[in-house]
Amino acid sequence: MPKPITFDPGDKIKLEDVPARPDVGGWDKKSAAERIEHNTEQSRELAYRLYAENKQTLLLVLQGMDTAGKDGTIRTVTTGINPQSFQIAPFKQPSAEELDHDFLWRVHKAVPRRGNIGIFNRSHYEDVLVVRVHNLVPESEWRRRYDRINEFEKLLTEGHVKIVKCFLHVSKEEQRERLQARLDNPDKRWKFSKGDLAERKLWGDYQAAYEDALNKCNTEHAPWHIIPSDRKWFRNLIVSELLKDALERLDPQFPPSEEGLDGIVVE
């Protein structure tokens, strides 16, 4: 089964050495779609048990460059599972109120409750990515944040939250094609903004910032998973598999019933 790329805490990865379009080992679009359907069925049943059990939480964190496919991944791997099982939090530009607090304040509020699967569409990592690239806070400040992030994730995992962090890894050439496709397709043009081109010019800075986030925040308690994402169907397959595996490992159980229910007849 295709797996994300993982590495041991303490090891260093270089993004330029990680293929965004690796060998797919015999998989193709059709077999991937069948496997995703199978995974969705499994995850639907496991999500129901997780909800019934009401003890544990799964939190999927999705990061990636523009056009890497965060929305498409969420759509593909969650559609077919009961939406009541999910709490999906999109992190956009922080509001004035959010900026009046530390960078983890809004993130902490969005942590999903027990029994649910949370998905962060972007996350606290934006505070060491876009914030760093655009110098929105001084370097001395963002440099400290990696430790704060690791500690925050420790807090969550020592509670009832299992964190699965995914970096959707696309190549610069693939992003070029996807942006051009948005421009050229009248149905997708609304997604395109000239600002996307300005961001693209900062590609190298973003890659460096991602590399640091991956290397500095790849902990035992919350490791990173790099998802080769130049092929959408392969990316979806890997994340769908990850979601199902993570739910299986939580092994949620139906709760025991109340004592003394035998023989009760409802009138």
7 or 233: whose CB is closer to its own copies? 233
26 or 186: whose CB is closer to its own copies? 186
Q: Is position 82 an interface residue for its own copies (rule: CB under 8 A)?
A: yes
Are the CB atoms for 64 and 232 separated by under 8 Å? no
HEC-encoded secondary structure of 2-39: CCCECCCCCCCCCHHHCCCCCCCCCCCHHHHHHHHHHH
Residues between 241 and 260 that touch its own copies (CB under 8 A): 254-258, 260
* Least gap, CB of 266 to its own copies (angstroms): 4
> Which residue among 13, 18, 88, 104 contacts its own copies (CB under 8 A)?
88
Q: What gap in Å lies between CA 26 and CA 4, rounded to an integer?
A: 16
Which ranges constitute the DSSP H helices of 188-251?
A: 194-201, 203-216, 232-250
Q: Is position 265 an interface residue for its own copies (rule: CB under 8 A)?
A: yes
Q: Tell me the HSE value of 209 on the side-chain side, using a 13 A CA sphere.
A: 23
Q: Is position 192 an interface residue for its own copies (rule: CB under 8 A)?
A: yes
107 or 119: whose CB is closer to its own copies? 119
Q: Is position 105 an interface residue for its own copies (rule: CB under 8 A)?
A: no
Q: Is position 96 an interface residue for its own copies (rule: CB under 8 A)?
A: no
Name 218's Cβ contacts closer than 8 Å, sequence gap at least 6. 7, 9, 11, 224
52 or 99: whose CB is closer to its own copies? 52
Neighbours of 206 (CB within 10 A): 18
Residue 79 carries which DSSP code?
B
31 or 193: whose CB is closer to its own copies? 193
> Which residue among 10, 11, 135, 264 contacts its own copies (CB under 8 A)?
264
Which residue reads 């959010």 in tokens? 98
Phi, psi angle pair for 81, to nearest 5°: -105, 145
Phi, psi angle pair for 147, to nearest 5°: -65, -45
* Least gap, CB of 133 to its own copies (angstroms): 19
Residues between 40 and 59 that touch its own copies (CB under 8 A): 44, 52
Sole window of 74-82, 127-135, 158-166, 222-230 interacting with its own copies (rule: CB under 8 A): 74-82
Q: Is position 84 an interface residue for its own copies (rule: CB under 8 A)?
A: yes
Sole window of 23-31, 93-101, 159-167, 190-198 interacting with its own copies (rule: CB under 8 A): 190-198
